[in-house]
Amino acid sequence: MSTSQTPSHWFSNVEQALIVDSETDITWQHEADLVVVGYGAAGASAALEARENGLDVIVLDRFAGGGASVKSGGVVYAGGGTTVQDSLGEQDTPQAMFDYLNLETQGVVKDETLMRFCEQSAQNIDWLMSHGVKFSGPVYKKKTSYPNVKYFLYHSDNSLLPSHRGVHPPAARGHRGVIKNGNSAVNLGGALFWPMRESARKIGVQVDTQTEARQLVLDITGRVIGLKALQLIAGSDAEKRHKRYSALATSLATYFPNMLPGGKSMRKLAQYFRKKVIRIEENERDVVFYRARSGVVLSAGGFIFNRKMVKHYCPKYLPGLPLGTHADDGSGIRLGESAGGATKLMKNATAWRFINPPQAWSQGIIVNQQGARFVNESSYGATIGEAMVERNKGKAWLILDSRLVKQAWREIAPGKVLPFQQLLAALNHIVVKKKFKTVEAMCNHYGFDLATIETELTQYARVAKGEIHDMFHKTKDDAVEFQAPYHVIDISLAQHLLPCTVLTMGGLDVDERSGQVVDANKNAILGLYAAGRTAVGIPSNLYMSGLSLADCVFSGRRAAKHAAEQST
């Protein structure tokens, strides 16, 4: 047996791979055809697909399962003529879906892979429904970051923008999983994961929670044959305390954000329970080895909660609000690297700067530190966030006038938007927003260039009158002619009263036909697969709502199918 030293920028407890002369060198406590590391949407998809193909499957999860998938809004980006689209009269084809996504993905995957994703999309929705996931209408046809709770299909992208429509009519592709009392845009992913988990239980998937994969085991040819994990004994007092403390830490951090009274205190309490979880892990776990006859699937999420990794790879996104769980620590990526896997696009992350609802906000203008517009304010939140972070150092200000402010208040009236949307807009109107009688006063306060701001306001008024075309392709109906006084809201990445959620998009490089992890020379590492945000995939260039969960299903099933083919 041999190991090698980890790189100085490892920032992880994952160990370099253990190389053995023979599988008999290890005493294996468990054995299966496929071992899946990480039990979110990607891991569940891999497990279900593998069982349907006759493989024995064991899934490992450091916590209780669900991960960032459960913390999400429960949206699956799907099209090409899904059952739900057809029932609601939304016309769509795989080609139309491909043409649109091709604008957003910008070659992050091969065209043939993107087309395969689109062609399989409708079938993947049917497959999820066969495992108990519920999708339905009605459809919300206007631009929004997230619709009211009564709508379950919406445009979760930029497809309603004229610049993105192309030759096909825009189709709603954001399929929300049906869930009761979903008065939020987060923590709704259980609509997807919980039915999948129940289906996996019924068909015989073994799930070992409170089990953390730490080291891959390779034979002398470089094939992955299993892994070492650290595990709390099922039913033990330590396991019960670990579950309880980790659940408390997650709940406190999720439901008591810093913006609310007492939020900072609750987050400190969450950290207290996190430390208790770590102490249990450090002192009370046993070493367990898992043999994987057909392969290992790494589906342990990204690395947004590993702040050292974020600082190393994509530091511009550090001020944003991490989206996911503490299991998103990059361990899946590091496991793949330990076996020789190459990473790709590790600097890529997505920041969601949503400003609609209220729709009135999207009729204002967003400017940078110089006072220049830099994006179509009607764009999807990740498009705005990308422009703000990548090209403007994470700084941005939203300028409105009094008419738009009054319109915004009407649009966030009780019952018109989700409670959290109402709260955030109201807080920013009351606490953050500043009012200025003149353009000069506004520029003096923020340091904007007066000539630049005056030019922007003049040009924007001409767009609203239909005299000129907007350089950012905003329509006449979405623009206004400003009248003093001016109202300004800081919408920068670090603005804690208007949280900008962030998650990482880079990961392991994979063979796009099989999902196998590849090395720097594009050679497949036998017995090793990656799926979801552990791998580079469809959303790794620019995120659209639901694209990550859709890619989790697509890539999880892809890996399992290939592993099943190799086992025959």
Q: How confident is the model at residue 149 (pLDDT cuts 50, 70, 90)?
A: confident
Q: At what angle do helices 439-446 and 450-465 cross, to 10 degrees?
A: 130
SS3 state of residue 352: strand
- Quote the CA–CA distance of 136 and 85 in Å, as a whole number: 9
pLDDT at 259: 61
- Lowest-pLDDT range of 261-275, 420-434, 500-514: 261-275
- Lowest-pLDDT range of 215-224, 246-255, 501-510: 246-255
Supply 229's token pair: 């994990």
Q: Are strands 211-219 and 18-20 parallel, antiparallel or unpaired?
A: parallel
Check residue 368 and give left, alpha or beta (phi > 0: left; psi -120 to 50: alpha).
beta
- Quote the CA–CA distance of 399 and 408 in Å, as a whole number: 13
- Cβ contact 334:215 at 8 Å: no
Amino acid present at 210 = Q
DSSP symbol at 127:
H
Above 60 in pLDDT, residue 5?
A: no
pLDDT at 165: 79
Task: Write the pLDDT tens digit of every residue in 204-234.
Answer: 999 999 999 999 999 999 999 999 999 999 9
Above 60 in pLDDT, residue 545?
A: yes
- Quote the CA–CA distance of 66 and 60 in Å, as a whole number: 11
Supply 283's token pair: 């002192």
pLDDT at 185: 56
Above 80 in pLDDT, residue 255?
A: no
pLDDT at 347: 98
Please provide residue 544's backbone torsions phi and psi, each rounded to the nearest 5 degrees. Answer: -125, 145
Supply 315's token pair: 């530091």
Burial 264-299 (b: 16+ CB within 10 A, else e): eebbebbeebbebbeebbeebbeebbbbbbbbbbbb
pLDDT at 1: 47
Q: Are strands 139-140 and 365-367 parallel, antiparallel or unpaired?
A: unpaired
Average pLDDT (441-470) is: 98
- Quote the CA–CA distance of 61 and 67 in Å, as a whole number: 9
Task: Write the pLDDT tens digit of every residue in 327-362.
Answer: 999 999 999 999 999 999 999 999 999 999 999 999
β strands within 437-493, DSSP E: 486-490
- Lowest-pLDDT range of 85-94, 138-147, 183-192: 183-192
Supply 280's token pair: 């249990």
pLDDT at 524: 98
- Cβ contact 400:489 at 8 Å: yes
Average pLDDT of the chain to the nearest whole number:
94
* pLDDT > 90: percent of the chain: 88
Task: Write the pLDDT tens digit of every residue in 14-42.
Answer: 999 999 999 999 999 999 999 999 999 99
Contacts of 265 (CB under 8 A, 6+ apart): none
Q: How confident is the model at residue 2 (pLDDT cuts 50, 70, 90)?
A: very low
Task: Write the pLDDT tens digit of every residue in 548-564.
Answer: 999 999 999 999 999 99
- Cβ contact 543:505 at 8 Å: yes
Average pLDDT (369-385) is: 97
- Quote the CA–CA distance of 394 and 416 in Å, as a whole number: 30
Q: Are strands 139-140 and 153-154 parallel, antiparallel or unpaired?
A: parallel
- Cβ contact 160:43 at 8 Å: no
Q: How confident is the model at residue 266 (pLDDT cuts 50, 70, 90)?
A: confident
Average pLDDT (49-62) is: 98
pLDDT at 179: 83
SS3 state of residue 507: strand
pTM (predicted TM-score): 0.95
Task: Write the pLDDT tens digit of every residue in 287-324.
Answer: 999 999 999 999 999 999 999 999 999 999 999 999 99
374 to each of 57, 370, 393, 470, 472, how far by Cα in Å? 49, 11, 12, 11, 8
